């Protein structure tokens, strides 16, 4: 990865951690879950509202933790809104694959926000920070009755 790209990615993370998007509760969500990463102390609440067609009409989070977990939660909400659950599942899988694949691999050419988060795979201890909000969204989607679950 070129120095310029690394610098850009760093700025994306700083921006999302300082000014997180969609950091708020959703009134009467169709799902809500709490994610906790004890290794780092990150804790996020994720709210999701599905429309009648099963599309993600709104998604938000509260809480956070370190810069990586907060930025990743913010990026997750922007990535997921407007997608069907099938599309959301594919986005989740591709995100997870990009963060956990072995070795450096070829850097993504796309300068999307997920590429910024992807850099944490060089720091395995931080991968849990980055995936926390995404796992919590899955739990929120599965918990349509609004119960609170804990994911680790
Ligand atoms: Zn963290």
Q: Is the pLDDT of residue 45 over 90?
A: yes
Distance 64 CA to ligand 1 centre (A): 8
β-partners of residue 34 are: 45, 150
Distance 95 CA to ligand 1 centre (A): 17
Answer whether 62's CB lies under 8 Å from 44's CB: yes
One DSSP character per residue, 59-70 reads EEEEEE-SHHHH
Task: Give the C-alpha separation, 41 to 50, whole Å.
Answer: 29
Q: Is the pLDDT of residue 83 over 90?
A: yes
Q: What is the pTM assigned to this prediction?
A: 0.87
Distance 35 CA to ligand 1 centre (A): 12
Q: How many contiguous H segments (helices) and E segments (strands) does the chain have?
A: 5, 4
User: What integer pLDDT is reported at residue 107 of this predicted model?
Assistant: 56
Return residues with CB closer than 5 A to ligand 1 (ion): 40, 42, 65-66, 69, 129
Q: Is the pLDDT of residue 1 over 70?
A: no
User: What integer pLDDT is reported at residue 105 of this predicted model?
Assistant: 56
Distance 36 CA to ligand 1 centre (A): 10
Distance 18 CA to ligand 1 centre (A): 15
Distance 53 CA to ligand 1 centre (A): 34
Residues 5-150, CATH architecture: Alpha-Beta Complex (3.90)
Residue 149, helix vs strand vs coil:
coil
Q: Is the pLDDT of residue 149 over 70?
A: no
pLDDT tens-digit map of 98-111: 888 765 555 555 56
């Amino acid at each position: 990865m070129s120095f310029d790209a690394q610098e850009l990615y760093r700025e994306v993370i700083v921006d999302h951690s300082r000014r997180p998007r969609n950091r708020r509760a959703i009134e009467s969500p169709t799902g809500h879950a709490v994610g906790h990463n004890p290794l780092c102390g990150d804790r996020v609440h994720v709210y999701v509202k599905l429309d009648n067609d099963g599309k993600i009409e709104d998604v938000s989070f509260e809480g956070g933790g370190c810069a990586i977990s907060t930025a990743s939660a913010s990026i997750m909400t922007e990535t997921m809104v407007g997608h069907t659950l099938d599309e959301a599942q594919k986005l989740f899988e591709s995100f997870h694959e990009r963060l956990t694949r072995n070795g450096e691999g070829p850097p993504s050419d796309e300068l999307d926000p997920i590429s910024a988060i992807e850099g944490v795979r060089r720091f395995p201890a931080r991968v849990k920070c980055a995936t926390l909000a995404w796992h919590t969204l899955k739990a929120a989607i599965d918990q349509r009755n609004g119960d609170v679950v804990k994911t680790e």
